[in-house]
Amino acid sequence: MGITSKQDQNSVVAVFSKHSGAENAIKELKDGGFDIKKLAVIGRDYQTEQDIVGFYNTGDRMKYWGKWGAFWGGLWGLLIGAAFLIVPGVGPVVAAGSIVASIASTLEGAVVVGGLSALGAGLYSLGIPKNSVIKYEASIKAGKFVLVAHGTADEVTKARDMLKTSEAEEIEGYEPSTKVARVA
């Protein structure tokens, strides 16, 4: 799977300071009929010397433990794809959903997007312009959770409307013309 150009993708990004806000927003989108295959969530996991952080696969489902183990485990059961990565400059990152295939393609060397990390290339593939990718990587580095809904203009409008009532501290929409529409 290659990187889709930002000109081909509509997306809306919501930033949450708490994992519970991101989890509730995903459930609301799912219950509202949004295609969960078009959702991605990325967050930073914390490592401490007292806590074990890791993951394992027992066949068809990956298990994860650590500070946010229950959160990520629940999302991995809901969304397609899961990844735990150590991103230079960001640290340990956990991702679930549609962004995972793009990150994997980048890591496998199939795609290079000038100057972006594998995480940044994954965000870019979901329709987020390069200049905004850096902002979302900084949010993740600061311990926040980034939720991306992408798809057609109608699908993204529906997701944006549902996210307006979420606990997001910031919501931005991106259209193929690359103009940014600040929502909240």
* Residues 183/22, Cβ–Cβ less than 8 Å: no
DSSP label at 5?
A: P
Q: What is the pLDDT of residue 14?
A: 97
Q: Please list the pLDDT of the chain residue by residue as tens digits (184 residues).
A: 344 444 458 999 999 998 889 888 988 998 999 998 898 888 886 544 444 444 444 445 444 445 545 555 555 555 566 777 777 777 777 777 778 777 777 766 655 566 777 788 888 888 899 889 989 999 998 989 999 999 999 999 999 999 999 999 999 999 876 445 555 5
In sequence order, what DSSP letters do the residues of 44-68 get, joined into one string?
Answer: E----SSS--EEEE-SSSEEEESTT
d(CA 139, CA 153): 25
